[in-house]
């Protein structure tokens, strides 16, 4: 970590610390939502950016995390971290199944298969009325720990920030570990990775499991500050939004995933009044960056910084 990163982290920490004392409830809701998007983007970064597997099932795992955590909290009301961990575990188990099936597929075939899984899960969310409430949606009780209940965005804010910081730290640790090296070797050339002794099959499945677990955690985080979930918000549009965050932010870059989550998370709020145009706008942005800046914003800014130094 260079000096700039340290100063940036310190500034962000100070800003997040003073934010609850200076802004309204809606701003805190948006910040909480941005933290959820950040964890979602970090999870997709692991499977697409680190391992090179073009998976489009992230919204499904996000929904699994939400419904698992919400149902557990509604029925048993355990400490909130128990519900979040349960959501992550259920999502990770399904991620392992999808990862094992994905070993036989690559590129467009993998994208289509994971897209089909995401659509199938949304159908389940819409039609399993006894569990999810179906098209009527599901009400969720406030999360709690002991006597402390999260009745507002302000109550949930400390837990959301803490979980996001933990997931960001975990992502960086994975990226710098031998596992991260195995991910990147598999991404660059699976044949070369196997020749160097990397278990590419295990790396792929592990990436799917971790990515799904991150999405499950993000779903559990979402239940901390919202009281209602509808299956329509867990469709392909959410996957495209998170994909845009990762691709435009910079594929293979943790900084890019974080920056993309913040920029496009804010954009999604600004475009809330025109939902029919959101997919068109995200698609146009994706095409522009893939044609003219395929490495994303992080690479563009890094190249400009190097030129300015030179």
Contact 250, 266 (CB under 8 A): no
pTM, two decimal places: 0.94
- pLDDT of amino acid 3: 65
Residue 206, both tokens: 């592990």
Contact 96, 47 (CB under 8 A): no
- pLDDT of amino acid 1: 59
CA nearest 219: which of 111, 48, 94? 94
Series of mean pLDDT values for 10-residue runs along the chain (310 residues): 71 88 89 96 94 91 97 95 96 93 81 91 93 93 92 94 96 94 92 89 94 97 95 88 90 90 90 76 83 75 68
Structural domains in the chain, sorted by start: 3-309 (1.10.3470)
- pLDDT of amino acid 310: 61
What single string gives the DSSP state of each residue in 200-258? HHHHHHHHHHHHHHHHHHHHHHHHHH-SEE-GGGGSHHHHHHHHHHHHHHHTT-HHHHH
- pLDDT of amino acid 36: 97
Question: Residue 106, Cβ neighbours under 10 Å: how many?
Answer: 14
Contact 201, 207 (CB under 8 A): no
Contact 157, 21 (CB under 8 A): no
């Amino acid at each position: 970590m260079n000096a700039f990163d340290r100063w940036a982290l310190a500034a962000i920490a100070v800003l997040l610390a003073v934010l609850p004392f200076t802004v309204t409830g809606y701003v805190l809701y948006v910040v909480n939502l941005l933290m959820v998007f950040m964890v979602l983007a970090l999870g997709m970064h692991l499977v697409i950016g680190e391992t090179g597997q073009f998976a489009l099932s992230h919204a499904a795992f996000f929904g699994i995390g939400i419904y698992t955590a919400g149902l557990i909290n509604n029925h048993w009301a355990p400490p909130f971290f128990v519900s979040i961990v349960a959501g992550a575990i259920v999502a990770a188990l399904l991620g392992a199944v999808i990862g094992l099936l994905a070993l036989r597929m690559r590129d467009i075939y993998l994208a289509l298969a994971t897209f089909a899984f995401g659509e199938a899960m949304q159908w389940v969310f819409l039609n399993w009325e006894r569990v999810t409430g179906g098209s009527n949606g599901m009400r969720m009780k406030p999360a709690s720990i002991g006597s402390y209940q999260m009745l507002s965005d302000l109550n949930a804010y400390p837990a959301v920030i803490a979980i996001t910081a933990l997931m960001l730290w975990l992502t960086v640790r994975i990226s710098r570990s031998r596992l991260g090296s195995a991910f990147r070797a598999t991404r660059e050339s699976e044949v070369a990775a196997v020749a160097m002794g990397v278990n590419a099959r295990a790396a792929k499945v592990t990436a799917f499991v971790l990515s799904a677990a991150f999405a499950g955690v993000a779903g559990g985080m979402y239940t901390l500050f919202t009281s209602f979930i509808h299956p329509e918000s867990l469709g392909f549009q959410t996957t495209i939004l998170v994909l845009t965050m990762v691709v435009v932010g910079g594929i293979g870059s943790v900084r890019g995933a974080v920056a993309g989550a913040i920029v496009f998370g804010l954009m999604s709020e600004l475009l809330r009044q025109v939902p029919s145009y959101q997919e068109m706008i995200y698609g146009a942005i994706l095409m522009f960056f893939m044609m003219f800046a395929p490495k994303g914003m992080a690479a563009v800014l890094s190249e400009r910084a190097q030129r300015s130094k030179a």
